[in-house]
Structure 1
Amino acid sequence: MKLVQQLIACAEAVACRDKTHASSLLLELRANALVFGTSFQRVASCFVQGLSDRLTLVQPLGAVGVVGIASKTVADTSEKDEALSLVYEICPQSNLVVYKSLETLQAKDFNVEDGEAVVINSILQLHCVVKESRGALNSVLQRLHALSPKVFVLVEQDSSHNGPFFLGRFMEALHYYSAIFDSLDAMLPKYDTRRAKIEQFFFAEEIKNIVSCEGPARVERHEKIDQWRRRMSRAGFQPMPIKMIMQAKSG
């Protein structure tokens, strides 16, 4: 309980731009939020990284600017790619291929032949196109709808990490990722290297982006299922119960 309270107090201090208090709390948190500790200590270590990154970018009150983070190195990217492959190894029902930026995707990129049935399988990708203006995602969905797919399978995190206010977003993310780390704790041993890589190079990167970034730099903009339903409906897609898909497949 003390670790939770320290984490929330630190987030509040960062939100208030109280660098002195936040730095003091981060010092304590780094000693208690162990990467190979309990499931909550492990998830807390990821939030500590995010809070630390955000604190380094905190500007004095009255200053104008966008909070962002430095670009990833090649090593960072390869480590995250490896962690991502482990996620799909543990969850083999998922398969992900990304050829180019979704925002520049065009119908010609799919090489669809006349009369060919199109099935779109989008796994954990479209939330990265969500922006404050919403225009970018709407354009992508309209281009995908123009392909007249028979089925569009959309898999996204059912969570609310795109709120405009830092503290609200922080609390939502803390609850969400705590549950994920509890699941990993039940699935994999404490010192399993696969678990450590998934936590530190995949989920930690998401957490740090949600916590430390603002503006265009914040790409982990997960939203609730109701928001996705409305957005997909506006783009012309209609929901279909899974049992209907299975019936069509068996027929």
Structure 2
Amino acid sequence: MTYHLDFTRGPLIGAHRGASAEAPENTMAAFIRAVEVKADMIELDVQMSKDGELVVFHDHDVKRTTNGSGYVKDLTVKELLNLDAGRWFSDQFAGEKIPLLEEVLVWAKDRIPLSIEIKPIPSWNQPIEERLVELLVRKDMVKQVQVMSFDHQAVYKVKCMNSEVMTSIISASRMWNPIGYAKRVGATILNQPWYFLTPEFIEQAHDEGLLISGSLIDDPDIWKEVHAWGIDLVDTNYPERLLAVTKKRVDLDHFQGEEQQ
């Protein structure tokens, strides 16, 4: 069985940094939990170490979620892997490590699709896009991921390097002509806060061949509303909550369909 990204079966629910409400973000524990609750995909963040390795980590500084300090870019992969990335969350997760992207790709292969966010650090002049595309090709994961970023130049670079990679631009603010802009940079998906979206906008985007992500939603009541708009993807820290809402809707639609027969 293959696990290519498939938006034809309804909106996908992505586990934001894994099931990050139940396990420390961007760790294998959070990713494994996301699979256990049957999330449709996993969102994670990628940066480059001082010695050029791609690591899965959100903040530029390691202080908040490890027992260390300093910027990811200034630490070697050995130094990063020696940090404890779990105890800050709970003693239960003491000893969790910062994952290498390569090991996550190997683990996720034919298990669950990934949404990989390149952290916006253009001033640091790291060849992160080249390394990422090379790794995706080498691990045969091009069809099982989407690559996204607030750094739209990074998204454009990835698309130019390999047109088969599904890409997404993220924006936390309103954009002028977002659909046209997304298409110009080669994005397949436009990722904006759900409260910027409307059913009419989503329909227009679909007519233009663009998919829509509603960014981060943790509230099941909001998800009920946005789900009905025809959205394609959403990330959440609580995938199990949102999946329960989706299952109820599917079961209700099936029941109503049987009644009408």
Do these two structures clear the TM 0.5 threshold for a shared fold by scoring above it?
no
With the shorter chain as reference, the TM-score category is: under 0.3
Higher relative contact order (CA 8 A, sep 6+): 1
Structure with the bigger percentage of helix? 1
Q: TM-score, normalised by structure 1?
A: 0.25
Structure with the bigger percentage of strand? 2
Q: TM-score, normalised by structure 2?
A: 0.24
